[in-house]
Structure 1
Amino acid sequence: MHKNSLAYRDTNYFTPLVTDYLDQKENVQQFYGLFPTLENFQEQIALKKENYDAAGGTEKREVLTGILKEQYRDIKISEATASNFDLLKEETTFTVTTGHQLNLFTGPLYFLYKIVSAINLARDLKKAYPQYNFVPVYWMATEDHDFEEISFFYLHGKKFQWNPPKSEKTGGPVGELPTTGLNDVFELFSAEIGNTKNAGQLKQWFKKAYLEHDNLADATRYLANELFGEQGLVIMDAHHAELKRLYIPQMKKELLDQVSYKAVQKKSETLEQEGYNVQVNTREINLFYIQKGLRERIIEKNGKFFVHENEISWSKEELLELLENHPERFSPNVLLRPLYEEVILPNLCYIGGGGELAYWLELKGLFEAVNITFPVLLLRNSVLLQTEKQDQKRQKLNISLPELFLKRHELINRKVRKISNIDIDFSPQKEHLVEQFRGMYELAEKTDKTFLNAVKAQEVKQLKGLDHLEKRLLKAQKRKLEDEVSRIADLQNELFPNGGLQERHHNFSEFYLEYGEDLIPALLNSLEPLELKFDIIAL
């Protein structure tokens, strides 16, 4: 196994906002706190400790530990995880957190990369600051309600889709969804992967997770614990009444003062003024109301509160009483969930993908408005996994790593030009033509200026003609070099499914079938979260 790395900017798969953040461009610095360097965590620890302790940190730690033990009651806990539960009670313990949806059988590969990033960052921080403890946390997005986004995974180019019985409502929090209907997926999955030792382990994980647990939250917790429990990962479901009770002051402020709308709107407008796209648009109230099979946003109108597209409504007094008595019925949306996380956890750093960091960068003003410490934002590790055979094929085709990330037509055209014995580049001819027409423009200026348009039209026509000839020659040469072109296309198809990043498409089972129990240790040993580079790993 060996690893190479590229700057994220050189992959052409990340937005200008993300790459400018990684480059610490001056115009982006107003949207975050401390940048993710090992040295900056010393200051982040001091800031979080003071803020968290002043807001009832001891009580929060007790509640947190009790709920985690309750949620793990039916799961075999590793010594490392059990130790982390106890450490969370101590004022010298902090968390590093990543979050993810409850995708079926983990969904795309980057589920693994997020968690490995958190585990390895906790490891690095412990080495740098041994007087403190650092716990990696996976925050399960159990309150999300977009079932369509999480109900499938891809293996060997095939889509394995979960279709619950029509009697089951899928519009409420996905963590509460019964796992009925997943036996059919298990049968298809089992038939696809065969009967090797590694296939047997995958079948066991799927069966125990989804056929022996009643809901999606419990199934996901079991599976994530099986994959990462030995590394001390703490898996958290924040959809709990006692955790929500700790968040009541912020939810009350949201309902009455619409604090997030005012703060986030201002930052979003500033982002747009700096030329960046806004990831998430804020609403007047960024809370949902939850009951079985329902998660819908709360709307205020003329002093009354309503549930969107529903007959449920309250007066202000009724709503505040409901919040006090049943905080679990209120659910933060994508913009308030980060604040909820930072209120209840002694958290130093949030680790997310490019899209997640983009909406976190809208939130600094909100954190300042409610006096909660803004965490360090870290882009999770991104990885392209290839076999040694694929890497050898790349080298035989003389494709550099940066070239591998080019769009297919661009890569093929570049390689055809390079390996061809004909120089199919008409740039010199085009430059010569432009120079000739420059003289014709001067002549037209001196004689009859009305001919300028005619000269321009002729120049455009002849340049287009050269473009056309260049493309025809390139096409003809591609036919002559059909074998090389085919091998280049096949390699890119293997490594970039549907022209996108592998990590956003393939399921981990595709690689586990090949590498088995060596897969996760290889990632843990290779990925360095604070390097801030895109990794290409040949296994």
Structure 2
Amino acid sequence: MTAECFPISHVPGTSALFRAFCEGATNDAARQSLAEWYPAKPFTNDWAMQSPTLPAEHRGALADALKIQATKFAAGEAALANIEKLREGAATVVTGQQVGLFGGPLLTLLKASTAIRKAKDATEASGREHVPVFWLASEDHDLAEVDQAAFLTKTEVETISLDLKAERPVPVGGLPIDAEGTLDARLDYACDLFAWGPFADTLREAYAAGETLASAFGKLLTKVFAPFGLIVMDAAGREFHALGAKALRGAIENAAELEAALLTRTSELESQGFHAQVLVAAGHSLLFLLDAETGARQALKRSGDEWKAGAKTYSTADLLAILAAEPERISPNALLRPVFQDTILPTAAYVGGPAEVAYFAQSAVVFEQLLGRITPVLPRLSATLIEPTIAKVMEQHEVDVRGVWDAKTVDALALKFGARALPIEAKRKLAAVGNAMDAELTALTEYAEGLNAELAKAAGVSASKMRYQMNRLRRMAASFELQKEASLRKHAAAIMLHLLPDGHLQERVLAGAWFLAKDEGSLLDTLVEYAGLECPGHRVLFL
């Protein structure tokens, strides 16, 4: 196993805020500029020294609820032991993800691996037990986003879906996975794509008739990370919402103050050239309400003491009464969720991706008002996994991941290969002519500048045209070589398919199940190991 670390500035699609966050690892000035939003030092273990505690009664109720759930997820001894550590006073390192089909994209594995490693490091650094928890975002209602998993064929990304349907926006975690009768056929197809290895049995055990999107996801993740003791938690039920009711009540009773603070924070972010990850508008709250009759998840909007969810109107007292009697009906949005989560759990740190790190810049004001502290957010391991066959082709063409990112398309990457494949004599002649021409044009332009401004301008324009034509000649020569060597385009297509599928980072598109199915037993150990070796950017792991 070998690995490379690429700076965050090289990684495509990253936001200015996340780049600044990661640059704080090596640049004190960059970190200080964000200290109001991210007070902890995410690239050290300092955050582990101030892990919060919870009352014994709360810890007991939490452990009891987690143990019941762990039994349903068929948890092993290590996870059950970690629940008992939590009962006895351990802190948690938390991460989470939507309950995507067949375990979701690769980033699910990267998040869990990072939480496991950070919990271990925190225990060693502080002397207090820290255990890893994976929070299932089962209350979200974006069905299209979770009802899919992407695998690779030889030539394309193949997306598999169960074609689940919901008449109204409802929490997706509770939807049965075989409601449309497509489960067996989709499982067969998925297993065909990764050649029916041992992982196929694991996938079938988790995704069985009678399971929901949340329970199947929970069973799969629990099984996969069983040796590491990962606690998988679905907080959608009444017992967990009751434990987190303080955060929900605070969001109801302090809605106006929270709205004002969030609007101010949005202005602060935008004034410094950053973006607000979540749109905050006047009258919008941090809460959803599940309709008692239909189960629909509807955003709560506020005007003074009046609240609306769909066509129904509620008073603040009404919402507080619902919270007291049926706490599971009130659900937090993306900005309140981490505060709700950290009301339930003794969270030492949260492990998130770029979007979640951006959430925390806004959520900081909610943490301060409702919890009186800001939970540190740590970046998850970001990685591209390269199989040996792809690594060999990349080596053959002398291209690294950055070269693939820069190329962006198969055509552009193939053209690079064509240019490299030119005969040495042709390369020399093109280089010699190009260098000589560039030097003469530079000298001529400088001379013209000393004679007359108009002449200098004309010389500059003419020089640009000639340089363009020279570069065009280089591209034509590369294209000619590319046409002679059909294998070059084939190699470019294979590399792009694996490393930048559909134009996006591999970790955001390809299913983690795809990599687990090909694993010979060391993948998760490798991910956990490299999650502890700080890379404030992107890891490239050669399998």
- TM-score greater than 0.5 by the shorter chain: yes
Correspondences of 1:515-534 after superposition (within 5 Å) = 515-528=519-532, 530-534=534-538
Query: By how many angstroms is 1:229 displaced?
Result: 2.2
527-536 or 389-398: bigger deviation: 527-536
Match of 2:511 in 1: 507
Distance 1:475 1:293 in 2: 62
1:289 touches 1:297 (CA, 8 Å); kept in 2? yes
**Any idea what SS the aligned residue of 2:519 has?**
helix
Shift of 1:455: 6.3
Shift of 1:21: 1.0
Query: Does residue 383 of structure 2 align to residue 383 of structure 1?
Result: yes
How many Å apart are 1:419 and its aligned residue? 5.8
Aligned residue type for 1:534: H
Mean alpha-carbon deviation: is it higher for 388-397 or for 373-382? 388-397
Where do 1:96-111 residues align within 5 Å?
A: 96-111=93-108
Structure 2 contact 357–377 (Cα < 8 Å) conserved: yes
Write out the 4+ residue segments of structure 1 that deviate beyond 6 Å after TM superposition: none
Kindly state the Cα deviation for residue 427 of structure 1 after the two structures are TM-superposed. Answer: 7.0
Q: Is the 8 A contact 2:85 2:129 kept in 1?
A: yes
1:271 corresponds to: 269
In angstroms, what is the RMSD of aligned CA positions? 2.8
Q: Give 1:491 shift.
A: 2.3
- Give the whole-Å Cα distance in 1 for the aligned partners of 2:325 and 2:295: 21
| Whole-angstrom distance in 2 between the partners of 1:220 and 1:66 | 21
Distance 2:434 2:361 in 1: 45
Shift of 1:80: 1.0
Partner of 1:448: none
User: Which stretch shifts more, 223-232 or 138-147?
Assistant: 223-232
| 1:86 maps to which of 81, 84, 87 | 84
In structure 2, the CA distance between the partners of 1:344 and 1:400, relative to structure 1 (3 Å rule), is same
Match of 1:44 in 2: 50
Q: Which residue of 1 aligns with 2:35?
A: 29
Aligned pairs for 1:4-23 (under 5 A) are 4-23=4-23
How far apart are the structure 2 equivalents of 1:438 and 1:158? 56
SS in 2 for 1:314: strand
Q: What's the offset of the Cα at 1:134?
A: 1.0
2:228 paired with 1:231: yes
Map of 2:343 onto structure 1: 343
**Change beyond 3 A, Cα 1:193–1:214:** closer
Q: 1:192 to 1:300 in 2, by over 3 A?
A: closer
- The range that moved more, 71-80 or 523-532, is 523-532
Query: Which of 140, 146, 149 is matched with 1:144 structurally?
Result: 140
Secondary structure of residue in 2 paired with 1:275: coil
**Structure 1 residue 253 and structure 2 residue 250: aligned?**
yes
**Alignment check: 8 A CA contact 1:98 1:351 kept:** yes
How many equivalent pairs are there?
A: 517
Give the TM-score taking structure 1 as reference length.
0.87
* The 10-residue stretch of structure 1 (355-364 or 385-394) with the greater mean CA deviation from structure 2: 385-394
1:362 match: secondary structure: helix
Partner of 1:243: 240
Query: Are the counterparts in 1 of residues 306 and 315 from structure 2 also a CA contact under 8 Å?
Result: yes
1:490 aligns with 2:487: no
Amino acid at match of 2:342: E
Cα distance change of structure 1 residues 519 and 239 upon mapping to structure 2, 3 Å threshold: same
Distance 1:42 1:464, change over 3 A: same
SS at match of 2:36: helix
Q: Is the 8 A contact 1:104 1:152 kept in 2?
A: yes
Where does 1:352-501 land on structure 2 (aligned, <5 Å)? 352-408=352-408, 420=422, 421=427, 422-423=429-430, 426=434, 429=437, 432-433=440-441, 435-440=443-448, 442-444=450-452, 452=454, 456=457, 459-460=460-461, 462-482=463-483, 483=485, 485-486=488-489, 487-501=491-505
Deviations 1:250-308 (A, max 9, x none): 3333223323322222222211111112211224311001134411111123532110x
Alignment of 1:260-339 (within 5 A): 260-283=258-281, 284-291=284-291, 292-301=294-303, 303-307=305-309, 310-339=310-339
**Distance verdict in 2 for CA 1:315–1:389, change over 3 Å:** closer
Greater shift in the superposed pair: 111-120 or 513-522: 513-522
* Structure 1 residue 107: Cα displacement: 1.8
- 1:521 deviates by 3.3
User: Secondary structure, in 3 states, of the residue corresponding to 1:277?
Assistant: coil
Shift of 1:335: 0.6
CA contact (8 A) 2:418 2:481 kept: no
Structure 1 residue matching 2:511: 3-state secondary structure: coil
| Equivalent AA in structure 2 for residue 470 of structure 1 | N
Whether the aligned pair in 2 keeps the contact of 1:163 and 1:181 (CA below 8 Å) is: no
Larger deviation: 264-273 or 228-237?
264-273
Structure 1, residues 185-207: CA drift from partner, whole Å, max 9, x if none? 432441453499x7253433333
Q: Secondary structure at the match of 1:219?
A: helix
Specify whether residues 88 and 335 from structure 1 end up closer, same or farther in structure 2 by C-alpha distance, changes over 3 A only.
same
Q: Which amino acid aligns with 1:314?
A: Y
Contact 1:407 1:499 in 2 (8 A): no
C-alpha contact 2:92 2:131 (8 A) present in aligned 1: yes
Gaps of 5+ in 2: 25-29
Task: Give CA deviations for 1:105-162 in whole Å, capped at 9, x if unaligned.
Answer: 0121111111011111112222333x31111000000110000111101112211012
Contact 1:63 1:243 (8 Å CA) reproduced: no
Change (3 A) 1:239 1:465: same
> What TM-score comes out, normalization by structure 2 length?
0.87
1:95 aligns with 2:97: no
Identity of aligned residues (%): 24
Q: Is the 8 A contact 1:170 1:177 kept in 2?
A: no
Q: CA deviation at 1:86?
A: 1.1
Partners of 1:408 and 1:90 lie apart in 2 by 51
Call closer, same or farther: CA 1:432–1:367 in 2, change over 3 Å.
Answer: farther
Deviates more, 1:292-301 or 1:77-86: 292-301
8 Å Cα contact 2:444/2:459 also seen in 1: no
**How far apart are residue 320 of structure 1 and its match?**
2.4
Residues 313-334 of structure 1: CA distance to partner in whole angstroms, max 9, x if unpaired? 1233323222222221111100
For 2:535 and 2:193, locate their aligned partners in 1 and report how far apart those are by CA, in whole Å.
39
